């Protein structure tokens, strides 16, 4: 699907994108050379750049715990395998600057990238390398490309809660608090949701709120127990946004909860389109509009989802969702409303 001039011209806000999911194969290859390490995904070593590129065409949309194949990498296995080439502060910086440059090309004015610090510390990377790389990109991305950002510390839900709490403590000096460095202003929850409900992390969320940060959680589309996860997020945790959360449409009580608490969904249409028929998926966008549920359009992990970025996701909503130009502008306004930029910054988007 080509990006139309209308979609290209819209000013954009992206608030659901994992920075590690923007690591393009060309950069992954270059960083592996620089660090003198092989490029490996699930036991397969790629000896040429062409072989590596080919591997990204595999559709990572199956869930082994739901009966999917076990021989090809899942989306998350590919995503975490990609992280292996990130070793030095410069590696984290270069990946992030590449995303922010891409933002400027797509007319993205404000971004709230998630980062998975545990994906790096559990490989033995010092947390300062990660956070200082991101901090320098936040600063220089604004200077060089005019893209402002505040980032989101993301807990890995399939790791022990105590590990997440420890990582949070280490990262706190980089937070957007009175004495902090201003990198991240929120805490999120992602990775494999199977048997890892958000309520397990309730104390981490409460801690973040006490520290003056925002909170959001993934409730992946089609995940086992997704309705219970959404219910917990709204009613037990008091979450401010939900990442995905599209399954709420199956249950009027969840929809009512979203509307009553003014909780918006950060949707990523292409992520669902990988495993859902067009005629099943896209009418859901109009249903949400009809029910008054706030949502906006994002990319999630563009590199591991066939190189469909936020502009491509918006094009899909526009084209397959049969939305009007006015409705697309409305979705951008939703993103501005849902993002956690200062009002003075929002006024300039
Ligand atoms: N789902 C869950 N966890 C994630 C994702 C995702 O799409 N991307 C990065 N972590
Ligand atoms: Zn996500």
Provide the CB-side half-sphere exposure for 324 (13 A, CA): 4
Give the distance from CA 301 to its chain's centroid: 6
Probe ligand 1: pick from 62, 75, 271, max atoms within 8 Å of CB?
75
Average pLDDT over residues 98-116: 98
Q: Which residue has the tokens 């007319």?
A: 107
Average pLDDT over residues 97-115: 98
- Mean pLDDT score of the chain: 96
201-238 pLDDT, tens digit per residue, is 999 999 999 999 999 999 999 999 999 999 999 999 99
CA 276–ligand 1 middle distance (angstroms): 17
Task: Please give the number of the atom of ligand 1 that sits closest to the Cα of 218.
Answer: 2
pLDDT at 62 over 90: no
Fold of 92-346: TIM Barrel (3.20.20)
CA 210–ligand 1 middle distance (angstroms): 26
Probe ligand 1: pick from 65, 76, 193, max atoms within 8 Å of CB?
76
pLDDT band at 57 (very low <50, low <70, confident <90, very high): confident
pLDDT band at 66 (very low <50, low <70, confident <90, very high): confident
Q: In the structure encoding, which two tokens stand for residue 153, read together?
A: 């510390």
pLDDT at 324 over 90: yes
Q: What residue segments make up the domains of the chain, in order of their start?
A: 23-85, 92-346
Contact between 107 and 8 under an 8 Å Cβ cutoff? The reply is yes
Which residues are within 8 A (CB) of 329 and not within 5 positions of it... i.e. 6 or more apart? 10
Least confident of 50-59, 81-90, 144-153, 274-283: 50-59
Contact between 254 and 219 under an 8 Å Cβ cutoff? The reply is no
Average pLDDT over residues 34-50: 96
CA 170–ligand 2 middle distance (angstroms): 23
CA 36–ligand 2 middle distance (angstroms): 30
pLDDT of residue 146: 98
Give the distance from CA 289 to its chain's centroid: 22
pLDDT at 100 over 90: yes
pLDDT band at 60 (very low <50, low <70, confident <90, very high): low
Q: 24 — phi, psi (to 5°)?
A: -70, 150
Task: Please give the number of the atom of ligand 1 that sits closest to the Cα of 271.
Answer: 7
Average pLDDT over residues 237-262: 98
């Amino acid at each position: 699907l080509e990006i139309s001039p209308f979609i290209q011209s819209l000013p954009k806000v992206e608030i659901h994108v994992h920075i590690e999911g923007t690591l393009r194969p060309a950069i992954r290859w270059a960083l592996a050379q620089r660090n003198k390490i092989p490029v490996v995904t699930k036991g397969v070593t790629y000896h040429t750049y062409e072989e590596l590129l080919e591997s990204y065409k595999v559709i990572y949309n199956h869930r082994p715990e739901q009966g999917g194949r076990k021989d090809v990498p899942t989306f998350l296995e590919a995503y975490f395998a990609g992280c292996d080439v990130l070793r030095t502060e410069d590696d984290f910086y270069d990946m992030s600057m590449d995303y922010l440059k891409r933002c400027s090309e797509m007319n993205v004015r404000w971004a709230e990238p998630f980062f998975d610090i545990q994906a790096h510390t559990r490989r033995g990377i010092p947390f300062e390398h990660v956070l200082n790389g991101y901090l320098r990109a936040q600063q220089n991305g604004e200077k060089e490309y005019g893209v402002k950002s505040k980032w989101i510390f993301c807990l890995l839900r399939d790791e022990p809660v105590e590990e997440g709490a420890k990582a949070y403590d280490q990262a706190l000096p980089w937070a957007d608090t009175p004495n902090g460095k201003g990198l991240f202003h929120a805490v999120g929850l992602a990775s494999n949701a199977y048997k890892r409900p958000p309520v397990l992390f309730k104390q981490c969320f409460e801690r973040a709120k006490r520290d003056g940060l925002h909170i959001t959680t993934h409730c992946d589309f089609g995940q086992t127990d997704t309705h219970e996860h959404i219910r917990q997020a709204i009613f037990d945790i008091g979450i401010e946004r939900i990442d995905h959360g599209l399954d709420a449409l199956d249950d009027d009580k969840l929809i009512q909860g979203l509307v009553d608490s003014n909780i918006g969904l950060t949707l990523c249409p292409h992520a669902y389109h990988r495993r859902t028929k067009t005629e099943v998926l896209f009418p859901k966008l109009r249903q949400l509009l009809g029910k008054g549920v706030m949502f906006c359009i994002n990319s999630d992990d563009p590199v591991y989802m066939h190189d469909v970025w936020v502009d491509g996701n918006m094009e899909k909503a526009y084209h397959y969702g049969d939305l009007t130009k006015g409705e697309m502008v409305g979705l951008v306004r939703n993103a501005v409303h849902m993002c956690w930029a200062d009002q003075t910054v929002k006024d300039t988007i």
